[in-house]
A and B are shown apart, each in its own frame.
Chain A
Amino acid sequence: MTSYIIKRLVLLIPLLLGITLVSFVLLKSLPGDIALSLVGERASQETIDSIRKEIGADKDALHQYAGYLKMLARGDLGRSYYTGRDVLSDIARKFPNTMKLAFAAMAISVPLGIMAGFAAAYRKGGPVGKMIDALSLAGLSVPVFWSAIMIMVVFSLRLKMFPPSGTGNIRFLVLPACALSIPAAATLVRVTRTVVAEVLAMPFIRTATAKGLPPARIKMQHVLRNAIIPIITIIGLDFGSYLNGAVVTETIFGWDGIGRFTMEGIMKRDYPVIMGCIIAGTVVFVMVNLLVDVLYHYLDPRIRLHANDK
């Protein structure tokens, strides 16, 4: 297991190199001159040139990329073109907010999704099952920006229960977490329903029922245990993507996390910020996936992790 984890971590290096290269090439191939956006309307050519030199835009793309990698090797993600602030420390400051939001969204979507998925599987074909199916389909189809706006209008503007935007205590967290949890819960419902329905049709469930085991024990010990792997996979993927910053949700609710930071960077073409967020996102995503793989092993000992696993 340890060698497996070490191998996965070592593989992160070529992955990061590849991702920085692709992102760098894409960003640099965009038209336009960032120095012009930085200095406003009336700057002299001399000032523009000096700023271009300062941000390294006067060199060719290869030199710029080499310079960036060198900086990266020192553990430095550079400074924002606009604010001059250190990108790594900004990411470190915003990451806990993103993590709070991700955990809050998972705290809503995981129990809700799994419970509703179970209910849909047990009540398959009945009115409850059909209703859960319809709601989960709606949750999957409605875009987050729309549900986020609706949640804000209802709970902030009409009911005046929560602040519409901002970053702070739990009052600020409720609405973005709800908005973010909708698609995740809907996906979980559908996956759980399918897997649980499959498990329910298996002979060992019939045996357990025939043996007179209480239904709660059958659900927890036999059904859930056997259905858990696909559910954990979906939770892991969602969690990984939330930790990368929920761009739309964070922007609409003014939540000061990685998603909003990335969005601001993109809007202003603040390359060090965009690159920094991509790199941090890659690391987080790989880590979460690794964690999920390790979890598989604990939840189902039949799954074994080897360093030579593909």
Chain B
Amino acid sequence: MTPKKSPSQEISRLALWFVLFSIITFLSGCTSSNRISGFFYYRLNSTPSTVDPALIADVSGASVAAKLFNGLVRLDDNLSVAPDIAERWKISGDGLRYVFFLRRDVQFSNGRGVRARDFKASFERVLNSGTRSPNVWVFDKVEGAQAYREGRAGDVAGFRVIDDYTFEIKLKRPFSPFLSMLTTTPAYVVAVDGSLCLGTGPFNLASWMPGRELVLERKDHYFDGRAKVRGIVYRIIPEDLTAITEFEVGNLDVISLPATAYSRFRNDKKWSSLIISMRGLNTYYLGMNTSKPPFDDPQIRKAVASAVDTKKILRTFYENRGRPAAGPVPDLLRSWKLDNVRDNGGYDPQKAREIIKNSGVSGMRVHLYITADQDVVDLAEIIQSYLSDAGIEVVLRQLEWSAFKEAVNRGEPELFWLSWWADYPDPENFLFPLFHSSNSGPAGNRTRYCNKTVDALIEQGQFSINKNDRKTFYKQAEELIIKDAPAVFFWHRTDFMVKQPWVKGYKVFPIYTMDKGMEIEGRDSL
């Protein structure tokens, strides 16, 4: 005979069953999906500081801003300058005056039509010292820009409103990449309304929860058609692993594949056909401080270039996630063939050892400064081993990014690992900041390389209006730089994106400003 249960025990039993039943009901209703219908989901790995074009300094902010704003011109799929708000333009024979003829059907998100004076106001806002824009360099070649910044003029003389739909920019001196520079984020037109920056782009910023997500909503009346998705959600997910899981359960439509997940996705039949590669406009290099021994001697620099088998590192360690770099200019921008660079173009450890031995620096200790990223540390150890074989002892010094940048800007290390990414698709963007002696130090030329012939060639390229002449100047400059070897050029990184099977119309662009989000279609796009 079983003992009879007391009423309180019965109540506890019933309560337990009720709790269990509620949990099971709750769990059965749960799903891992979490989406708004018709929206396209991207991942950002950090919260953008701002989406104000004048102030943007990070890629995540710039890629969002590209969908909210427009400039006079933009880049087309071939990296050529194409009309945006300016339907056409004229450049004067001396290369100083740029006249833009604006479309008449462009409106800001508050419905106000865009006029030439809006461009003048937007560009002057970037130059105004009160704005504290980090992007002044885009307009500092315009006539009167300096006087305006220093408060000597009430406006920038070089920005001239001819009529409501005609805008003229006059430069101090010819600068051939200028049109290309006008495709960058700071050259977007904005209407400042209190603390808000209104744009003309295909989307409006609907909500922004810092640390969580940014939501963009499609505009119904955009001058260039209507986007296919109802909106875009940028989810802020700093952790790679979390982002990958979100992608795999279908909560993100596209992600950039982190290096750690690359092999797994590549070898997974489900995903391998959905991987898209994006050849980036960048150059990764091992910089040598040319103002300090032992790398003030071009022979030692050439020896270092011969001592490291960059192609093998690219193939094995970097899993071919890049293209070999022949010089500083990325392959996509180099429209010329490099000659006369054979003498220090390849891996030749024997030659490297001999040069180092003969020059008496054998066993010399140098410092290689790197940032704290794990893949950079691994790579630095490989470089260390190659140079040790050649007779140079390398001490690695790992620093946090801003401390690293400060030390490299000061010229402290003999060796450093850095990369340079294009702001606009022009070879000049890789030659002038990195190798012109006027930029020595923090401005970009961190190898402190100085060659007057190279300076002159880069300047001639900047001033020349003739396309073929520019090509010749840039080619000659690049060949001289490779010969002088202020850096060992490793690779131009290729990024890999993976998309969901339902995604249509997704294209990858070498420069983030090119993606306006017009063609993409996600789940249930309308």
Selecting from B236-244, B275-283, B299-307, the interface stretch reads B236-244
Q: Which residues does chain A contribute within 8 Å of B311, judged by CB atoms? A: none
Which single member of B34, B47, B235 contacts A83 (CB below 8 Å)? B47
- The CA-CA distance from A30 to B245 in the complex, in Å, is 35
Q: Is there a chain A Cβ closer than 8 Å to B10's Cβ? A: no
Which of B134, B210, B242, B404 has a CB less than 8 Å from the CB of A164? B242
CB neighbours (8 Å) of B32 from chain A are: 156-157, 160-164
B164 at interface (Cβ–Cβ under 8 A)?
no
Cβ–Cβ < 8 Å partners of A90 in chain B: 210
Q: Which of chain B's residues 266-322 have a Cβ closer than 8 Å to chain A?
A: none
Q: With CB as the reference atom, state the residue of chain B lying closest to A38.
A: B57
In the assembly, what is the distance between CA of A83 and CA of B149, in Å? 25
Q: Which residues of B contact A260 (CB under 8 A)?
A: 211
Judged by a CB distance under 8 angstroms, whether A171 is at the interface is yes
Interface residue A239 (Cβ < 8 Å from any Cβ of B): no
Kindly supply a per-residue 1/0 record for chain B positions 172-189, scoring 1 wherever the CB is within 8 Å of any chain A CB and 0 otherwise: 000000000000000000
Interface string of A31-57 (1 = CB under 8 A from B): 111101111111111110011001000
Given A252-B239, A252-B242, A261-B132 contact (CB < 8 Å): no
A37 close to B245 (CB less than 8 A): no
Chain A positions within 8 Å of B406 at CB level: 31-33, 36
B17 contacts the other chain (CB 8 A): no
- Say which residue of B134, B248, B400 sits within 8 Å of A40 (CB atoms): B134
Chain B CB within 8 A of A153 CB:
yes
Across the interface, name the chain A residue whose C-beta is closest to B400.
Answer: A32
Q: Binding site of B, secondary structure by majority: helix, strand, loop or mixed?
A: loop
Of A34, A39, A165, which is within 8 A of B242 by CB? A165
Q: How far is the CA of A86 from the CA of B209 in the complex (A)?
A: 14
Pick from A41, A252, A267: contact of B241, CB under 8 Å: A252
**In the complex, are the beta carbons of B132 and A31 less than 8 A apart?**
no
A38 to B135, CA, bound (A): 12
| B129 in contact with A162 (CB, 8 Å) | no
Name the residue on A nearest B439 (C-beta): A42
Q: Mark B92-121, 1 if CB is under 8 A from A, else 0.
A: 000000000000000000000000000000
Within 8 A of A (CB), among B455-479: none
A238-281 vs B, CB cutoff 8 Å, 1 = contact: the mask equals 00000000000001111010001101100111000000000000
A139 CB–B CB distance under 8 Å: no
List B residues 408-429 near A (Cβ within 8 Å). Answer: 409, 423
Q: Which of B209, B400, B433 counts the most A-chain CB atoms under 10 A from its CB? A: B400
How far, in angstroms, from A152 to B405 measured CA to CA in the complex?
Answer: 37
Any chain A CB within 8 A of the CB of B249? yes
Does B18 reach chain A (CB closer than 8 Å)? no
Question: In the complex, how many angstroms separate the beta carbon of B34 from the nearest chain A beta carbon?
Answer: 4
What residues of B have a CB within 8 angstroms of the CB of A44 in the complex?
136-137, 140
Rounded to whole Å, the gap between the CB of A159 and the closest CB of chain B is 8
B238: chain A residues at CB < 8 Å are 251, 254, 263-264, 267
Residue of A nearest to B27 (CB): A161
Q: Which among B26, B149, B211, B237 has the highest number of chain A CB atoms within 10 Å?
A: B211
A36 to B163, CA, bound (A): 40
Shortest distance between the CB of A17 and any CB in chain B (Å): 28
CB distance from A98 to the nearest CB of B (A): 12
Distance between Cα atoms of A280 and B88 in the complex (Å)? 56
Tell me the minimal C-beta distance from A100 to chain B in angstroms. 15
- Report whether B433 and A85 are in contact in the complex, using a CB–CB cutoff of 8 Å: no
Partner of B402, one of A36, A94, A164: A36
Name the residue among A39, A164, A171 with the largest chain B CB count within 10 angstroms: A164
B210: which of A36, A39, A83 is its contact (CB, 8 Å)? Answer: A83
Q: Report if A42-B423 is in contact (Cβ < 8 Å); known contacts: A47-B133, A164-B242.
A: yes
Neighbour of B30 across the interface among A34, A37, A162, CB < 8 A: A162
**Bound CA span A254–B503, Å:** 25
Q: Closest 9 interchain pairs by CB?
A: A40-B57, A32-B403, A32-B402, A43-B134, A39-B134, A31-B403, A164-B245, A37-B402, A160-B32
Jot down 16 A-B pairs with beta carbons below 8 A, ordered by A. Answer: A31-B400, A32-B406, A33-B402, A36-B405, A36-B406, A44-B136, A46-B149, A47-B133, A47-B134, A82-B49, A152-B245, A157-B248, A160-B32, A164-B245, A164-B249, A254-B235
Residues of B within 8 A of A (CB): 26-27, 30-34, 46-47, 49-50, 57-58, 129, 132-137, 140, 149, 209-212, 235-239, 241-242, 245-246, 248-249, 251, 399-407, 409, 423, 433, 442-444
